[in-house]
Structure 1
């Protein structure tokens, strides 16, 4: 029997598409349950129009990207419970005792690649953990809570239509879709239906490049976090949230990861752990930036202190434009230098707990957009204001600047306090 003849024998509703753990759902009744895969093939090519009419959007691309055999192959036995088709005594025993009767065990081998993929993507660990939980339907949606005997309504809290499953909460709820429309991934997201969670995950892996999947993974994590924050009443709604900061945040993470492996300009091991006053007749400016999830804005701030440790100047403002974390940290430095210039302060050391911003200012890497412009401006202003140095310190040595940035992120009113005007 040739491979093509074998395809003709396989019924369409069987699990014949790689990475689909359950029978393929139909979107129309055009195909009968005894239809064969060969019914979808015309002259050694997939019948695309028939596939589009009969299968869910997330399945269509999986099918059409499978190569149709153009020549006959020798017959071969294939053990479907092994990823390479090889029979083993262990596999036979597991089949005999009913191990593979559980759908989760049927798909065990082909899912090994998925788990390896999830743990290999270049995103922060908390995002990888979130996607591992998402894949296993372990995030606390209303439907999952109900299934674990927690008394709660299964209806979606936001749209009021249907059960709040994992896929509904993240992708198909109309409020969720309003957020996804802000991203470049809407063309994929709008194709998602309320199919099994794992199948959607595998389809996204199949469809997207690894970089695009990483971006989408962080978007999804940030959206779920905002959705939970809104549910607990800390923000008013999710449909209007701005998630453009996500890609900048991921970009900064990847840059920081790369910096761990470079051998040029290593960071000294003696970065200050606690704040210390400058020498007499000199000043220290500590700056920081902070993102507020509730207000969807950054806060930047700084404080200037002298040799006796007393503050003589502090400033802060809320930034509502979409920025990367690096961009916000650079903006804090820039505004800090502008404050120094306005108050005629020289002989100043600037301290930041952002290692990336220090490396950006003193490094040779070219940055595009606003980041590159601000780096150039900072370099020029440091010369004109006679800034002694820009140094990296630990967060514990930048506590007050961080507190002021956190305050600014939730306050729309900018402030600039000088000696004698500080609030109590």
Structure 2
């Protein structure tokens, strides 16, 4: 079993294979009094260097040279098994691929998926993790008061968590204690259906939430209460999912503006490699007639966020140039729309563009910004993508380019894609 050294707290000096080209058998014949010592004991944790004097006085010179040649990251990470040396670890990595594929496809709120992702990378602020960062002086589990609150203890070993798993109808392999935490996490996904994986993820999220409530608010739920909450939450999610499908068909259509108001849709396309972006603009009246379609290419654009901001500025500048008095500007970037609506000064990297937009708003009798889903913004999106791809800007009065005519017709007829 090969190991890569991170913090060194999981690797036993005399029992694990962690030194390049030095097998465990040879190591055990060299040293007999370090079997219970951890590799972390050989590392200066304050500056992340090897304790060379201790190492050269403990190991033969050739072995000591190999040890101090092992690189140490300045920011300590968890020890992990070397995939090249360990077929089981390779299988675990393959299991992780399937785990992440399945996780991101689950119909769950992003906050839950991100929590599960953090769990898989040991990124939660458990007491063991906080202790290792020297932020607290205890590792004792705040729920049961017995074990050290590692990820494994929090979700598998703690009696409080076990009481949750007993109440739920998913196979969480709670008795497979020989499995390491990462193996357990991926194996549960393999053994369960999609609906059971949803329940598993919601349960992990609920357990972590209950733990935080206990720590910060001094309140907690029983295992039965948590399991009832999880079941109820999933039923609610499933109900929302069904209603979303039905409502999406009726709402994912472009709507014409009120009389005497021009609606301007904008979108951006961005090329990370060249740092170029394109803005696509379409302006229509209350009869759904296209008044103008145009585009612009920008160079040295720092991010997709900046690209969207430039496109929104292009939209409002177009309205001013055409001398329209009342306009609605629609885009599918919620963060940009919020910044355009807000009167609070923006301090982000796009503050200059947002400031321009706020100043331009005073040019109109009426000017408001509205957020729409991408499906409703398809025409502007299509123009932005084509402009960036072809490196050719356009300016068409009372029309759209040929490639966008079908989409323009669908919008006019009120059809969804």
Q: TM-score per shorter chain, which class?
A: 0.3 to 0.5
Q: Taking structure 1 as the reference length, what is the TM-score of the superposition? A: 0.42
* Bigger helix fraction: 2
